[in-house]
Structure 1
Amino acid sequence: MLITYIVSGFAVGLLVGMTGVGGGSLMTPLLTLIFGVPPSVAVGTDLAFASITKSAGAFTHRLRGTVRWDIVKLLCIGALPAAVATALALKQYGALDASIGQFIRYSIAGSVLLTVVALIFKGKMLAWLNAHPERQLQGRALDAATVFAGLGLGVLVTISSIGAGAIGATLLVMLYPRLSAAEVAGTDIAYAVPLTAIAAFGHWWLGSINWTLLAMLLVGSLPGITLGSWIAKSVPEKFLRVLLAMTLTGVAAKLIY
């Protein structure tokens, strides 16, 4: 079973490296559906996994100067308190309770579907924004929208471990269409580090992290991400995104039914 976890971590890391989609969209459903890990434990373990792997990515982007720290600050103002409040709510209502586990399962499915929407329509949304610059938010309205987006992501990530990748990046593109692709990636990763760390700490407090499983996933994912990043340019991005969207749609349907 340990070898299976390592192989699964490698496969997810490979896809993340090739597509840039957050591992939570893939890892959490994988743990829940294939390995039968309770939803709350799958979420907690994946959050701890994400906080470690994203830290390395954030450090690299910081060195490259591709992090917009002003945007990170606004996102964290909304996301971090939301993550704490959500963890407290899970504690209050029992994160390991069967009914709460079912709610988390449906939350994972909803988050996966949002990821699919982000994958499919990101380009069209950006094109629409560029064609209608008058609709783009500015000043205090943009700051408030960013904080509100962080709040929503904080709740979503803490409940399902999904949202800080494709969904977060799509929101950044919609709010800040003039950011370069590298700045979107760097900013998305940078705010996700404290968010996933706080959410993971909350799940550790709830007792919903499997540390052995976490170690095995890390052993497999790190070389997988490295290899995926190397071969990403040789695989058509459109093909990968369509394949990933179809797979995630099937995963969401399986989680619901």
Structure 2
Amino acid sequence: MDVYLPIANLSVNGLVIVALGALTGILSGMFGVGGGFLTTPLMIFYGIPPTVAAASAASQVTGASVSGVFAHTRRGGVDYLMGAVLVAGGVIGTGLGALLLGLFNALGQTDTVISLLYVILLGSIGWVMAREAWQSLRAKRLGQPVAARKRRHHPLVANLPMRWRFYKSGLYISPLAPLILGMTTGILTMLMGIGGGFVLVPVMLYIFGMSAGVVVGTSLFQILFVTIASTMMHALTTRAVDIVLSAMLLVGSVSGAQLGAYLAQRVPAEKLRMALAVIVLLVAVRMAIGLTYRPDEIYSVAPL
């Protein structure tokens, strides 16, 4: 079933795009991540231009985050003050990301920069996740207890000035820390089309020392508004949001997330983390090969 994508200016198999959305939805339901960090590279592998893939993935993450925010709001799992600071930083970050995209477009290096960022980010995060999951699996196999991480502020966070009390999160830290984190994820969302949850959650847990009960809900709250801002920024600047592509991805991800949540209840958490780490590392390796591989024919002429 061929479907024409007006912004990407090419025809794709609609079932394949829905399947890609379903795959990222399954990963989202199984691992608790937005899936945007895998949606974009998978679309690039399929032949979607990187700029269109990143912009459309951001709009898909927006739709996928809405139900999650409502669910966590009902159970009181959102720190709105922390979320507001993160959103403020994220909106600033999307503006900075738009400026960077304009610069990279002027240099003609946008696609290369996006691919390089994925290699660095996915490679580093995948390695850390794989090491932690391997340690947990090894300890479990040997019957040794896994040392729990202590909940504390990182010294860099503790030394920042102008502290605020974030009662819901149980924190007394400077708002500069979540503001900078929000700016970073805003830039990444604009450049890469990711939701940023796989960056936000570890930082809020292990660097901010945030209460685990509100981490996921607050992360989704920030992701929702920042991806909205990123989508609007893309629509106004790069004009790379393909609504047809986003709609097909969203259809697949909504159904896939339900299956992923079902599977997550039947697989041990350590094996889930290791599986996700392997997937992330494989995507990073594939992106690295794409950056370095030299085709036999550099230039080719083919019918559109």
Does TM-score exceed 0.5, indicating one fold? Answer: yes
> How far did residue 98 of structure 1 move?
4.5
- 2:232 and 2:153 map into 1 onto residues whose CA distance is 41
Q: Secondary structure at the match of 1:65?
A: coil
Question: What is the letter of the counterpart of residue 11 of structure 1?
Answer: L
Equivalences for residues 185-224 of structure 1 within 5 A: 185-205=216-236, 206-224=238-256
Q: Does 2:76 align with 1:65?
A: yes
Residues 157 and 196 of structure 1 are in contact (CA less than 8 Å); yes or no, is this contact kept in structure 2? Answer: yes
Q: Secondary structure at the match of 1:208?
A: coil
Residue 15 of structure 2 is matched in structure 1 by 3
Q: Secondary structure at the match of 1:246?
A: helix
Question: What is the letter of the counterpart of residue 204 of structure 1?
Answer: A
Deviations along 1:84-142, whole A, 9 cap, x unmatched? 221133235428x7521111111122232344256346799x94544x67957383554
Deviations along 1:54-97, whole A, 9 cap, x unmatched? 122112211221001111122122221111221133235428x7
Q: Secondary structure at the match of 2:109?
A: helix
- 2:39 and 2:154 map into 1 onto residues whose CA distance is 39
User: CA 1:118/1:207 → structure 2, altered by over 3 Å: closer, same or farther?
Assistant: farther
Q: Does 2:205 align with 1:173?
A: yes
Residues 6 and 220 of structure 1 are in contact (CA less than 8 Å); yes or no, is this contact kept in structure 2? Answer: yes
Deviations along 1:149-208, whole A, 9 cap, x unmatched? 11111111211123611111111102443512x411100000111111111111222121
Residues 61 and 194 of structure 2 are in contact (CA less than 8 Å); yes or no, is this contact kept in structure 1? Answer: no
Q: Secondary structure at the match of 1:22?
A: coil
Residues 25 and 115 of structure 1 are in contact (CA less than 8 Å); yes or no, is this contact kept in structure 2? Answer: no
User: CA 1:114/1:199 → structure 2, altered by over 3 Å: closer, same or farther?
Assistant: farther
Q: Secondary structure at the match of 1:94?
A: helix
Q: Does 2:168 align with 1:157?
A: no
What is the TM-score of this pair, normalised by structure 2?
A: 0.75
Equivalences for residues 206-245 of structure 1 within 5 A: 206-245=238-277
Q: Does 2:169 align with 1:137?
A: no
After superposition, the CA RMSD in angstroms is: 2.5
Residue 106 of structure 1 is matched in structure 2 by 116
Identity among equivalent positions (%) equals 26
Structure in which a larger fraction of residues adopt helix: 1
Give structure 1 stretches of 5+ with no counterpart.
Answer: none
For the pair shown, the structure with the greater C-alpha radius of gyration is 2
Asked which structure has the greater RCO (Cα within 8 Å, sep 6+), the reply is 1
Task: Show structure 1 runs of 4+ deviating over 6 A.
Answer: 121-124
Length, aligned pairs only: 252
Give structure 2 stretches of 5+ with no counterpart.
Answer: 1-12, 136-146, 165-172, 290-304
